[in-house]
Each structure stands twice: as structure tokens, then as C-alpha cells.
């Protein structure tokens, strides 16, 4: 439901809760909420059937006071500018929570990639980058993959940007390894989700991870790697749902086998022989300890939040929880580790990719993983300190931390 229209409003409501704690002035609220730059571009493309279609693309640069703008590029038929604004602002807070030197941006093209050829997608990506190249670049704005875009899309971005500006691999992250991508980037977000789940379940809530029951919505990049690492840490993945089906096993699914099954069956867990199939619509009500939404935005709502039986929620997806559901979880004593902390492993390793590209010196996977863990666990402790000090939710604590950092940078620059 990433295309719903009230996402920007939800993000701003969450912002205001943190701003109230900090007693932020109206002036500072306006400065921090308002995107720095918003661009809409029209891209005429001659389709393979001979027709001319005009696609609409957006790039929102929300805030760049702490470093170059950073954020994904998504292709989606329902994409609207307000969603791009919301996701750009979430990226500002996310990069500030993990304290990496970036701001927050987001971009996208309103298109349905399932109905387009590879050649049409390449033309569209190139036209989009060509129209925006004056506001992109290693020190201005660095895109990365998001919904329906991947390493190949980023390779086209690199090539198109380079036509006007010369070879600059740090202009985009999430590239193929052969073109300067980073080791560990593919697994980075799911790994961060698993690390946050481990930290919250063991140190915060005082339980043993061995045998802890994990439930997941989504078994794509984020969900499958979160499941893989939690399985390796000794947890039991008991239920997984995706767009095409769902599978469960109380004793724990064989995650390595499920990983292979999904990758050889159009990405889905449907039809996995090592468990019982069930209705994916009942995923929230499954019996378990740790719930990981890792698919869509806006899925934990006033309607679904009361169904949840887990005592810990770790947000792999961006904005999966509405403010109404947040309140329900808070009242029910369910701990929720928010997206801007839990799924920040991806942007953290994107930062490593940018650094490696700038210095043209590359690190191996072990070094990347060690650095990722250090940054995420520091951010976890920083947010924990805010939660304890203000007696607030983890989402508000993370936003308080981020707002303080971005506000300080604004003030130092003279605003």
C-alpha cells in the first residue's frame, strides 16, 4: 500500500510528537518539515509498439544540511508526489539516526514496470537521469535502488550520469559489484533488521534468542535476509507470508531451503513443501514472539494491530505502521523498533559504497558487516537513551535523536 495518499500526513504527525518533546519552535518545525527541492519531470518515450507515452517522474530532496541528499528511486504505477515527500523526509531522519553524512531524498517514476520491456525501462531511466543530472552527483544527491528498481537500473544511472559528467561511480549506490558496488549491500538491510531484533529481544526484553518465534510479511530482499540471519542466530522462523502465498511450521521452517525455494520459484514462498500453507491475510494473527513487516507500507492499522500476538515488532518495510496502530501497540505494551532505525542497514552500506567509490579502495564483506553492526548498534543505544530519558515510544525516541542532529546542523549553518 505504498501508494496511499496520507503517508506524508502520518510522517508529519510522528514528527510533531518528537518536536513537542523538544519544544521546537514553529519556525524550526517549518524549516525541518519543508522539502528543500521538489522536481517533477515529463519523459516522452517511444514505446516498442510505436506509440509515444509521456511518463511522469519526481525527485524530492528533503534536507541536505548533514551531507548530500540520499534516497531510493522507485518505479510504481500509483506513485504520487506526497508519498515521495514522505519517504524523502523519512530518509532525512534515517541517515541522522545512524549518524552518516547524508540528507534525505526520494525519487520515482509513475510507471508499471511489469508491463514494460527492458529496453523501454532503460530508455525511461536514462531520460529521467538526463533531466535531473544538474541536481544529482556525488556531492549533491545520490540515488539507490528501491521498489521495482535494482542493480541493473543503477548501472544505467551510472552510465547516463557519466555521459555528461565523466566517470563518477559515487553518483549512485546499489550498483553491480562489477561497476563499483559494495560487498554486503544485498544482505545489508535484512541483516540490520536481524541485528535490531536480536538486540531488542535479548538485551532490552531479556529473552533468549534461541527458539524465539519469528513471523514475517515479505520474503524479498529485506525479509529473506532478515530470516536468514535470525535463523543463523538460533531463532525459529515459524510463519512467512508474501504476495502469492504463505507457509508456516511451529517447529521452525528450514530457512536455507525456503531461501532456495523462493529464488527458484519467481521469488515466492508459495508451494514450499516444508510447511503448511495458510491464508496470507492472517499473517498478523499468527502465534509468535517477533513480528517483522518487510513488504508494504501502511499494513499495521487500527484494524490489524489488535490481531498481533507478538510482543516485539521490528519494521523492515518503510512506514508499515499507521499512527493509530502505533498507539495501540504502545497501549498493549508491544515494543516496536521503527523503520528509521531497524531498516537503516541498507543506507549504511550504501554510505560505505559511496566512501569506497570516492577513495577507489574496496573492503571485503567481513569488514563491511563489522562496520555496519558497529554503526547500527551505536544508533540503537543512542535511541534507547532518548526513550529512557523521555519515556516515549522507540519511534518518537528515534525521531527526537534525528531532529536534534538535523536541527543542530541547521543552526551551525546559520539557519
Residues 6+ apart with CB under 8 A from 172: 142, 143, 144, 154, 157, 158, 161
Site for ligand NAD (CB under 6 A): which residue of 218, 298, 338, 397? 218
262 vs 409, beta carbon nearer ligand NAD: 262
What is Dmax (Cα atoms) for the chain? 63
Least distance from ligand NAD to the Cβ atom of residue 243, Å? 3
Among the listed ranges 5-13, 52-60, 111-119, 220-228, the one in contact with ligand NAD (CB under 6 A) is 220-228
Instruction: Work out how close the CB of 68 gets to ligand NAD at its nearest, in angstroms, rounded to a whole number.
Output: 18
Closest to 378 (Cα-Cα) out of 348, 355, 334, 354: 348
Here's the x/- map for ligand NAD, 11-50, by CB under 6 A: it reads as ----------------------------------------
Q: Residues 92, 110, 183, 221: which binds ligand NAD (CB under 6 A)?
A: 221
Nearer to ligand NAD, 63 or 221 (CB): 221
Q: Which is nearer to ligand NAD, 29 or 345 (CB)?
A: 345
Nearest distance from residue 100's CB to ligand NAD, in Å? 14
Interacting stretch for ligand NAD, rule CB under 6 A, among 129-137, 241-249, 329-337, 352-360? 241-249
Least Cα distance to 380 among 338, 333, 332 occurs for: 338
Question: For residues 345 and 376, is the Cβ–Cβ distance under 8 A?
Answer: yes
* CB 16, CB 401: distance < 8 Å: no
Q: Which is nearer to ligand NAD, 45 or 375 (CB)?
A: 375
User: Residue 290 forms beta bridges with which residues?
Assistant: 214, 312
Distance separating alpha carbons of residues 157 and 165, to the nearest angstrom:
12
Residue 3 or 252: the one with the smaller Cβ distance to ligand NAD is 3
Angle at 383 between CA 284 and CA 99, to 5 degrees: 110
Choose, by CB under 6 A, the member of 14, 133, 318, 396 that binds ligand NAD.
318
Question: Any contact of residue 403 with ligand NAD (CB under 6 A)?
Answer: no
User: 365 CB contacts (<8 Å, ≥6 apart)?
Assistant: 183, 184
Query: Which range binds ligand NAD by CB under 6 A, 76-84, 202-210, 211-219, 324-332?
Result: 211-219
Q: Which residues contact 249 (CB under 8 A, 6 or more apart)?
A: 238, 274, 275, 276
Spatial separation of the C-alpha atoms in residues 89 and 238, rounded to whole Å: 34
338 is a site residue for ligand NAD (CB under 6 A): no
Least Å from the CB of residue 145 to ligand NAD: 7
Query: Binding of ligand NAD at residue 241 (CB under 6 A)?
Result: yes
Among the listed residues 102, 219, 284, 369, the single contact to ligand NAD using CB under 6 A: 219
Q: Hey, which residues does 337 pair with through a beta bridge?
A: 314
**Count, residues near ligand NAD per rule CB under 6 A:** 23
- Which one among 14, 173, 217, 304 touches ligand NAD, defined by CB under 6 A? 217
Binding mask 277-316 for ligand NAD (x = CB under 6 A): ---x-------------xxxx------------------x
Nearest to ligand NAD of 24, 98 (CB atom): 98
For residue 191, which phi and psi values (nearest 5 degrees)?
Answer: -65, -40
Q: Are 191 and 369 in contact (CB under 8 A)?
A: yes
Identify whether the C-beta of residue 347 lies closer than 8 Å to the C-beta of residue 373.
no
CA–CA gap between residue 144 and residue 350 (Å, rounded):
8
321 counts as binding ligand NAD under rule CB under 6 A: no
Catalytic residue among 106, 228, 386, 407, which?
A: 106
Beta bridge partners of 217: 241, 293
CB atoms within 10 A of CB 12: 17
For the chain, the helix, strand and coil percentages under 3-state DSSP, each to the nearest 5: 50, 15, 35
Residue 70 annotated in active site: no
374 vs 79: CA distance, rounded Å: 35
Residues numbered 130-189 forming contacts with ligand NAD, rule: CB under 6 A: 146-147, 189
Q: Catalytic positions, please?
A: 106
Residues engaged in binding ligand NAD (CB under 6 A): 146-147, 189, 217-223, 241-243, 280, 294-297, 316-318, 343, 346
Amino acid at each position: 500500500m505504498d501508494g496511499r495518499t496520507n503517508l506524508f500526513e502520518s510522517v508529519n504527525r510522528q514528527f510533531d510528537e518528537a518536536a513537542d518533546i523538544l519544544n521546537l519552535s514553529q519556525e524550526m518545525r517549518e524549516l525541518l518539515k519543508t522539502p528543500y527541492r521538489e522536481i517533477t519531470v515529463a519523459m516522452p518515450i517511444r514505446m516498442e509498439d510505436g506509440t509515444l507515452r509521456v511518463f511522469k517522474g519526481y525527485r524530492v530532496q528533503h534536507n541536505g544540511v548533514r551531507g548530500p541528499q540520499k534516497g531510493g528511486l522507485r518505479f510504481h504505477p500509483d506513485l504520487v508526489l506526497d508519498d515521495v515527500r514522505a519517504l524523502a523526509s523519512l530518509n532525512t531522519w534515517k541517515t541522522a539516526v545512524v549518524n552518516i553524512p547524508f540528507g534525505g531524498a526520494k525519487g520515482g517514476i509513475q510507471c508499471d514496470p511489469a508491463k514494460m520491456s527492458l529496453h523501454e525501462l532503460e530508455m525511461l531511466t536514462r531520460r529521467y537521469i538526463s533531466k535531473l543530472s544538474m541536481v544529482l552527483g556525488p556531492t549533491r544527491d545520490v540515488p539507490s535502488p528501491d521498489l521495482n528498481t535494482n542493480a541493473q537500473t543503477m548501472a544505467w544511472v551510472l552510465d547516463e550520469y557519466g555521459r555528461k559528467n565523466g566517470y563518477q561511480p559515487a553518483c549512485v549506490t546499489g550498483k553491480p559489484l562489477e561497476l563499483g558496488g559494495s560487498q554486503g549491500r544485498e544482505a545489508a538491510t535484512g541483516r540490520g533488521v536481524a541485528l535490531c531484533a536480536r538486540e531488542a529481544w535479548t538485551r532490552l526484553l531479556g529473552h533468549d534468542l534461541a527458539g524465539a518465534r519469528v513471523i514475517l510479511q515479505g520474503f524479498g530482499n529485506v525479509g529473506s535476509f532478515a530470516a536468514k540471519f535470525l535463523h543463523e542466530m538460533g531463532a525459529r522462523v515459524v510463519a512467512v507470508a508474501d504476495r502469492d502465498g504463505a507457509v508456516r511450521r511451529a517447529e521452525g521452517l528450514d530457512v536455507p531451503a525456503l531461501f532456495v525455494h523462493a529464488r527458484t520459484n519467481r521469488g515466492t514462498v508459495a508451494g514450499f513443501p516444508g510447511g503448511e500453507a495458510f491464508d496470507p491475510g492472517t499473517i498478523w494473527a499468527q502465534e509468535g514472539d517477533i513480528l517483522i513487516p518487510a513488504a508494504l507500507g501502511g499494513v499495521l492499522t487500527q484494524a490489524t494491530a489488535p490481531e498481533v500476538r507478538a510482543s516485539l515488532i521490528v519494521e523492515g518495510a518503510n512506514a508499515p505502521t499507521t499512527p493509530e496502530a502505533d498507539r495501540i501497540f504502545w497501549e498493549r505494551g508491544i515494543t516496536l523498533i521503527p523503520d528509521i532505525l531497524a531498516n537503516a542497514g541498507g543506507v549504511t552500506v550504501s554510505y560505505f559504497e559511496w566512501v569506497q567509490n570516492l577513495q577507489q579502495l574496496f573492503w571485503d564483506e567481513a569488514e563491511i558487516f563489522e562496520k555496519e553492526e558497529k554503526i547500527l548498534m551505536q544508533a540503537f543505544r543512542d535511541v534507547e537513551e532518548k526513550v529512557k530519558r523521555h519515556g516515549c515510544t522507540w519511534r518518537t525516541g528515534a525521531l527526537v535523536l534525528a531532529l536534534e542532529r538535523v536541527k543542530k546542523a541547521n543552526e551551525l549553518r546559520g539557519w
